[in-house]
Amino acid sequence: QVHLVESGGGLVQAGGSLRLSCTAPEHSTFNRLFVAWFRQVPGKEREFVRSISWMTTVQYYSDSVKGRFTISRDIAKNTVDLQMNSLEFEETGVYYCAAAEPQRRPLRDRQSENDYEFWGQGTQVTVSL
């Protein structure tokens, strides 16, 4: 079992930036994990944002945030970070970190909710006009 904790959410003005972090405090490393960020905005289903392989850094992304969001791993801090730039009001919502173990279970596309077994509780991001 992998417990995930998100941090870095808060209030930001439209056009501003935030950096979210995901950590597994009871897990020594993200090795062998595929880690993703999802979000749930008011009136919409939870949607995929970006994902990354800890080992290879291969990445997947949503077209809606291409060029504005960057996902990365921080080996020293053992975190997966999501740098969000040029935030829009419509992107207000709860952002979730999720992890999968592809060595134990095959993944469909690294973008589907059901690909991920482990989930954090989310962190609120509020974008003001």
pLDDT per residue over 109-123, tens digit each? Answer: 999 999 999 999 999
pLDDT at 65 over 90: no
**Whether the predicted pLDDT of 3 surpasses 80:** yes
| Percentage above 70 pLDDT, the chain | 100
The whole-number average pLDDT for the span 21-38 is 91
> What are the tokens at 33?
């994990």
pLDDT band at 84 (very low <50, low <70, confident <90, very high): very high
